[in-house]
């Protein structure tokens, strides 16, 4: 979920926010929002320039323009986002610090032997930001244009029943294994260090298929460097209406959504949670913000803290069932 983008594409998406420029969002001025009247910080568990970081900067800039507060993006990269989660857990609950976190970080509670925080006990949810889909793609060199074609190709090429994953122990790993189970042809995951080397091997025909975040592959799909054949949602993603879902193709088990959420430190007061939630939900509903989020493959959706807690609890139960079904053990 942490798509690495170039400086040029980052500037195009954020309108210059990464270098101190200003996004073209209306400035409301310093408002009586209930937020602390001091600089505010959004923690991001990944390096500057990645998809999580740039989304946080777009949202942060819009909150700044809406409220008049100074918003600082604090990148605490490393350990797949858990360093930022631990930092949030230990931050003062005074409303000055929140975190923008993907489910790829949260799910490590199930996939790792231990992580330095419990997302269900140590963090306070503010609002859901949106959902994201995982995508399955194939190399343009194998002449496949659909899942049906891919199944037929696998039957003729049984020694190539593998897929590259952008991150072992994540949805991009689990979804590929789930796909193999669904079609009745086991698929072996091959680990890659991110999307860039996987895309290069797909383009060169060195591996037949790949699995990663939808935003990892969209621009390469459009450029013909790979072919997206299905995604993991129940409905087609707003950013890729030409790509069917596995559910749509007749495989109901291929339904697993990731998400992004804003968390506050534990013991943050309900009033501060509500103040942040009011501003973030208002910003995420702005048409220009929703458009920018869609460019990242994020289908914007907000929630109350209670609604998100219910969703997270339900997702943990489903994710555990998925991990058990594919025989994955925490490492």
Say which residues have a Cβ less than 8 Å from residue 310's Cβ, sequence separation at least 6: none
> What is the four-CA torsion angle of 189, 191, 197, 198, rounded to 10 degrees?
10
Please give the share of the chain, as a percent, with pLDDT higher than 70: 90
SS3 69: coil
**CATH of the domain spanning 7-131+259-325:** 3.40.190.150
Q: Which of 189, 191, 171, 167 is nearest to 180 (CA)?
A: 189
Phi, psi torsion values for 154, nearest 5 degrees: -65, -40
Is 17's pLDDT higher than 70?
Answer: no
Within 169-256, strands assigned E span: 188-191, 209-213, 227-231
**Which pLDDT belongs to residue 167?**
83
Residue 171: predicted pLDDT: 87
Identify the pLDDT of residue 170: 85
pTM above threshold 0.85: no
Report residue 12's pLDDT band, with 50, 70 and 90 as the boundaries.
very low
Q: Is the pLDDT of residue 6 over 60?
A: no
Between 36-45, 78-87, 308-317, the lowest mean confidence (pLDDT) is in 78-87
Residue ranges per structural domain of the chain: 7-131+259-325, 133-231
Asked if 127 and 308 touch (Cβ cutoff 8 Å), the reply is: yes
Q: Is the dihedral of CA 253, 254, 260, 266 positive or negative?
A: positive
Rounded Cα distance between 114 and 61, Å, is 34
Whether domain 133-231 has CATH 3.40.190.10: yes
């Amino acid at each position: 979920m942490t798509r690495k983008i170039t400086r040029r594409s980052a500037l195009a998406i954020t309108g210059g926010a990464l270098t101190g420029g200003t996004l073209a969002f209306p400035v409301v001025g310093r408002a009586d929002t209930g937020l602390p009247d001091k600089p505010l910080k959004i923690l991001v568990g990944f390096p500057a320039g990645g998809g999580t970081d740039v989304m946080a900067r777009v949202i942060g800039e819009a909150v700044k323009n809406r409220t008049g507060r100074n918003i600082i993006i604090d990148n605490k990269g490393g350990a797949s986002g858990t360093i930022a989660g631990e930092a949030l857990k230990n931050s003062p609950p005074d409303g000055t610090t929140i975190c923008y976190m993907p489910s790829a970080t949260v799910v490590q509670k199930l996939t790792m032997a231990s992580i330095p925080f419990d997302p269900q006990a140590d963090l306070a949810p503010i609002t859901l930001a949106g959902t994201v889909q995982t995508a399955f793609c194939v190399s343009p060199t194998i002449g496949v244009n659909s899942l049906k074609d891919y199944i037929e190709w696998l039957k003729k090429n049984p020694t190539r029943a593998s897929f590259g994953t952008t991150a072992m122990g994540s949805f991009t790993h689990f979804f590929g294994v789930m796909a193999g189970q669904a079609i009745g042809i086991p698929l072996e995951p091959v680990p890659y260090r991110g999307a860039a080397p996987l895309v290069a091997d797909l383009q060169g025909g060195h591996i037949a298929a790949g699995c990663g975040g939808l935003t990892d592959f969209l621009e390469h799909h459009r450029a013909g460097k790979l072919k997206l054949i299905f995604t993991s949602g129940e409905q087609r993603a707003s950013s890729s209406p030409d790509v069917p879902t596995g559910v749509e193709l007749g495989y109901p088990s291929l339904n697993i959504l990731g998400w992004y959420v804003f968390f506050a430190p534990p013991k943050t007061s309900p009033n501060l949670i509500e103040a942040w939630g009011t501003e973030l939900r208002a910003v995420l509903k702005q048409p220009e913000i929703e458009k920018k989020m869609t460019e990242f493959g994020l289908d914007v959706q907000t929630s109350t803290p209670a609604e998100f807690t219910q969703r997270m609890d339900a997702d943990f139960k489903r994710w555990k069932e998925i991990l058990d079904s594919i025989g994955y053990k925490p490492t």
